[in-house]
Chains A and B, each alone.
Chain A
């Protein structure tokens, strides 16, 4: 009987503790003072919002200076990791970094830059979607697309499935393809990372794409 009472008490205490812990929150109308530790006392006082928001403080490299992280030279240079199973191909006048992957190199991924806003976010997203016969998106729909960090800035993630007609002089159409790409467009410059290939292959390389994107950096020495 005593044991039963003890467990009743235990259950009631647990219930009370749970319910009372839910209302624990700070006062929404006051600021709270705190001492800064030694490592927290220094701040970088910058003049403009442009600097504060990191625009033009880490510009992508100029043409011809992009190199792999392992072998590159030049100042600045583009640094990145090559995902496992991806093979690097020579760049071109339009592509700073060029990869192929898959058994027969059916998948490709490249990084390209354009000066200025590169035609704008809406035009570029819908240009990519047009290559897959997908309907264009509105500005609001594009603004709501998910973001991934690219050069420490949020870049718009575009994913489209369908028949892929790359254009650019090619009349070929590839069925059941997928695009996974990132667009970072600002007045400081536009950066595009675009991966295309058979749907299953691109899906299987999604993590590799993320790994490549996360590894991208600009080295200044």
Chain B
């Protein structure tokens, strides 16, 4: 007779082995290693909750401290590798295979471990793609998650940084897996229930509060005049032009400059209420002046941001908050909003090739790409019309049949140390060969990119009708890089006449007026002031 509940029986055996370590669901911090050794079996798929920000750091360290004689060959399925312990598991031989999305802080070490054969990479995913696989072929057997607080029944309160927790727990708990949570404190009653207790098997109070990274804070003092110029071009040449209301911004100074120009430059163009009203965005401090100026109607977030808690709590009409007043973020749902319900993604990159393919992969670093490939792609399943989406579709020659998402790559032609942002061949190709990846880690495919914006101009790729035109449109905004200098000047002037390339002067912008005086906040202190004292920046961003 066929056995239909092997997963349940296996789960019961694991729970039996661990039973003597727990009182109810609570396990003493000192017993964490023993708990992991008893519930994890060799070859398991394990998810360590590694978000962009909130990290299950105590459980990650405990996992890395296990003896590979007991636990080995784990397959780690984890969105973000942010901490050294996330790679220690491979160096120690506890784990051997990895499927992930983003590894920015650990990118160089990941590349070294891969080349020394200490780990194999299944694939580098976008967030939604990895989450999708949690519910198909990469369901975790054991998940180590992270929350702000738990009660004795295992109900979890995640705080503002809910991030990936709901997705991880749902995939694991409903397939008879085991969920272990580290929490900062055990309380009688949690402020709100983010994860129901009967989905959680064990709770460990971490000796130290979990690590959290202020990843989205950019000090306005570091925004350059060129970034102000490019922000003016974006606002007048794209946001106002298409009437973009629903959008996502990538992380960085380029987009922070746009956020800080909304209450000043965009206001002077009469754009309040007409652009940038609904956002899929982490609570960037740089958005405070625009919110205060009445530009922003709503913000749904992937995660939260350190220091923004008090401000968010005081602006419930703008942010998604629980009955307790604190933010409820959710990476999977905000990514879905970014994919299907935003008309534009705009963000920076490191390299763009002649077809418009864009990549942040550079030699010796395997960084992955998080959410950008998802937000920065046309959702071909989308079926609702909005003016910017329909207009982009018309420009692409899809008259009335389907629209297009605006996907804007915004780069200064040279990065720091005179590294050109435009290249004949992406480093991603060489990286794919070195790391034996199935495909080069391209962040945004050229056929999804609609506009490239540099200090030299805006190239509207929707209007290009041949690959040759597209190449000249890209060269035509590539400045003094080798790619830009090799332009066909006549072809570029022709594209300019047709409005495919638009210089600052063509959209009525005088570069000499691009000064830092246009920034609604010029320093962290200005942001605090704009928030009425509600924003409380982390110490590293304070100079006072």
Co-assembled chains A and B: no
Interface residues of A (CB under 8 A from B): none
